[in-house]
Structure 1
Amino acid sequence: MFKKVALAAVMMGSLVQVVHARDTEYKLPIQDVISMPEYQEKVGSDVKFYFADQKAVPKNNLGEFVTNKKTNSFGKSDEAACKWAMLSALIELRDRALKEGGTSVVGITSYYKKNEFASATQYECHAGGIIAGVALKGSVAK
């Protein structure tokens, strides 16, 4: 009987942890992602990225787009998981730019839960116990 009660208590404790899941906000350097060897390999140089108010001279604005990428953070540090989520978000923006015939994405801001954070040097990431996420918004231009 004691074993059943103890097992039930452990299970209830686990459920409470899931209900009160962690959501830690980070502001991390964009340069750390751009410096990753995987960045050049996976993102390439076909599309240029301009964050916040960085100077860009787009000739044609082809529309504003949002990406919301999540990654598994199990067994990784929050920062490492955030880098992978940011890399995935940039890949998605690059793919969208190419699809629309663009050569750049300008005015990129973090857009987590539709809250904007604009910085030329940092992005916003939210990390929990098993998932980290990055959302970006930017305008595709040519």
Structure 2
Amino acid sequence: MNKTATVALISTIVPVIVSAVSPASARDARLMFPVEAALNTAAAQEKLDKGVKLYFGNQKHPNSVAVLGEWTTNKKTNAFNKSDQEACEWVFLSAVLELQERARKQGGNAVINIKSNYKNTETNSNTEYMCGAGNIMAGVALKGTVVKLGAK
């Protein structure tokens, strides 16, 4: 193949490749998934700290005897070759574990008023969380208040 034919072939192929890749890498679907399903996965059952209770949205909880601060998480995970729900449940677990770790460090035994805070947009739900799903990455950001709960 001569030099002119090679340049013509490259100038034809490169735009096709770029146009195919650009929309795929820009995917940022904002999806809602059930909290209960994510908390009931095998990984969650194995890793969650039963001593640090989690209350999403406006769920009722025992009275707080101490409010120890509001904390945020912003977690990402590799979504390659995973369904959106699988990637989102995994990264949601990571975000929840970070909130539980913060509660332990602060001397709390619960995180209340947990809400999604994806790209600084709050979504308050008792039953669902928001996940940003792309072709390569998935992300979950949560915000919650660490407290010490009194007796029921």
Scaled by the length of structure 1, the TM-score of the pair is: 0.92
- Residue from 25, 33, 42 that aligns with 2:38: 33
Distance 2:84 2:137 in 1: 9
Aligned-pair Cα RMSD in Å: 1.5
Number of the residue aligned with 1:97: 103
Number of the residue aligned with 2:94: 88
Paired amino acid for 1:105: V
> Is the Cα contact below 8 Å between 2:111 and 2:146 reproduced in 1?
yes
**Higher gyration radius (CA):** 2
Paired amino acid for 1:54: Q
Shift of 1:14: 4.9
Scaled by the length of structure 2, the TM-score of the pair is: 0.86
Query: Which stretch has the larger CA shift, 81-90 or 9-18?
Result: 9-18
Matches within 5 A, 1:1-142: 1=6, 2-14=8-20, 16-17=22-23, 21-56=26-61, 57-142=63-148
| Structure 2, unpaired ranges of 5+ | 1-5
1:71-128 Cα shifts (integer Å, max 9, x gaps) = 1100001111000110000010011000111100000000111111111111111101
Distance 2:47 2:16 in 1: 43
Number of the residue aligned with 2:3: none
Paired amino acid for 2:49: G
| Structure 1, unpaired ranges of 5+ | none
- The number of residue pairs the alignment matches comes to 141
Distance 1:81 1:75 in 2: 9
DSSP 3-state at the match of 1:59:
strand
Shift of 1:15: 5.4
Distance 1:77 1:27 in 2: 14
Shift of 1:34: 1.1
Percent identical residues: 44
Distance 2:114 2:22 in 1: 37
Moved over 6 A (4+): none
